Amino acid sequence: MYKNIKQIVYFILVVCLSLGSSHTLWSQTSKEALTKEKKQLEKELAQQKKLLEETRRNKTASLREIQLITNQIKNREKLIQTINEELSYIDVEIEEVTKEITQLQTKLDELIDAYRKAIYIAYKHRNMLDKANFIISSENIHQAVKRMRYLQEYSNALNRHVLIIQQTQATKKEKEKVLMQNKQEKMNLLEHKNQEKTNLVKQQRDKDQVVSTLKKKESQINTEINRKIKRQKAIDNQIAKIIEAELAKAKKSVSPKVEAANVALSADFANNQGKLPWPVDKGNIITNFGTYSHPEVSSVLITNNGINILTDRAASVRSIFNGKVSTVSIIDGANVVIISHGAYLTVYSNLGSVCVKPGDVVSTRQVIGNMKSDPNDSKAELHFEIRKERTPLNPTSWIKQ
């Protein structure tokens, strides 16, 4: 007789085991990285907007204004691209969660159906499941103990089954909540994307207006561009001479102690790539590293061996790492400081005043001078370079972003 009870217990146990909980894990790492990048771009755009407003108060139209708007357009395009990538991840999340909800519903239907069958079987054998009669009708004490154990297993299995149903229902509700949050997040991102597209169109119109204004002053623009290019070439030539002098000095007999110190300093500098501090407390990169055509005068090719950082006039300029001042020069009415860090050099140009001299040992973040101050301009541009011997390096991959 207890064989029927065993069948009921085994049936419920098998249902509980075969319908165990399942879930899909979704990695958030990539999405979090995109969200972080989006926040950084929004921060940069806010800074550029502030700088643009200040520039417009200083001058009605200038090359700097063109540079700022061009950089804003680039950052806004990157922001829209980042939002698109975020939307792609959310679409995948929505698809995954929807799939999980479907699987949970299927599992829930199976659990409820199995529970109904278990209850029906229990009802059919209700006489056998009467605890007192079932145990009393045992042929001996050994069989009575066995029957008590099966009845207990039946009760536990049924309770476990009910618990799995409740847990599955709770998990499904939680997944439905996540799905609604994902859909809301997608709607917010789409709205953000549309707003950024509107801003992008407006900025492109603003740029066209400024370009149109500047074209009326073509001779003034060319004069300003040529002056900047001439000044930068003079700085580049001066730097090249200093580098050659440094390399020639290095070829001469140097004590093993000094040579070892330079090797160690070079390695230390290299190990801090991407973690070096900015040469100014606050600023915005207005001109990037590399060779490219001028934004509005395509016939003019610009070669920038570093970056130009727009900062406050008379702002403090700091050494980005421990080193030794190689030279302090005056080029086109502004100071240029070059600091040696073993095999690496850092260049700080367009300083109004300096507080170091050749041969001085400086430490990381030590003030070496102040930006040149123009009474008609609330801002100043620091030209900053990093080199390894003769080779210019992109500072944006070395300083902390």
Domain that residue 153 falls in: 2-215
Which three-class secondary structure string do you get for 382-400?
A: EEEEEEECCEEECHHHCEC
Predicted pLDDT of residue 386: 95
First to last CA, the chain: 77
Say yes or no: 174 and 290 in one domain.
Answer: no
Based on the structure, what is the number of domains in the chain? Answer: 2
Q: Which residues, 6+ apart, have CB-to-CB distance to 116 below 8 Å?
A: none
In degrees and rounded to multiples of 5, residue 353 shows phi and psi of -140, 155
Residue 392 and residue 245 in one domain: yes
Phi-psi region at 130: left, alpha or beta (left = phi > 0; alpha = psi -120 to 50): beta
What pLDDT, on a 0 to 100 scale, did the predictor assign at position 394? 95
Domain end among 191, 215, 239? 215
Residue 318: strand pairing partners: 367
This prediction's pTM? 0.57
Domain end: 193, 215, 237, which one? 215
pLDDT given at position 380: 87
CB atoms within 10 A of CB 145: 12
What are the strands, taking DSSP E only, across 168-258? Answer: none
Tell me: do 313 and 223 sit in the same domain.
Answer: yes
Same domain, 269 and 349: yes
Partner residues linked to 353 by β-bridges: 370
Q: Which residue, 215, 233, 265, sits at the end of a domain?
A: 215
pLDDT at residue 1, rounded to an integer = 44
- Rg for the chain, CA atoms, rounded: 36
The confidence score (pLDDT) of residue 45 equals: 64
Q: Could you tell me if 186 and 91 are in contact, meaning their C-beta atoms sit under 8 angstroms apart?
A: yes
Residues 94 and 226 in one domain: no
Residues of the chain with pLDDT under 50: 1-2, 17-27, 60-61, 129, 132
Kindly state whether residues 283 and 252 are assigned to the same domain: yes
The first and second tokens of residue 278, run together, are 């900015």
Residue 20: predicted pLDDT: 45
Instruction: Specify whether 293 is located in the same domain as 391.
Output: yes
Q: Do 200 and 229 share a structural domain?
A: no
Closest C-alpha to 332, from 317, 354, 349:
349
User: Do the beta carbons of residue 322 and residue 340 sit within 8 Å?
Assistant: no
Are 231 and 194 within one domain? no
What is the C-alpha to C-alpha distance for residues 377 and 54, in angstroms, rounded to an integer? 9
* 232 lies in the same domain as 208: no
- Predicted local confidence at residue 217, as pLDDT: 60
Same domain, 198 and 232: no
The Cα 8–Cα 4 span in angstroms is 6
Please answer whether residues 289 and 395 qualify as being in contact, where contact means their C-beta atoms are separated by less than 8 angstroms: yes
Same domain as 147, residue 239 = no
Residue 338: which CATH number? 2.70.70.10
pLDDT at 306: 92
Average pLDDT, the chain: 77
Give residue 339's pLDDT.
93
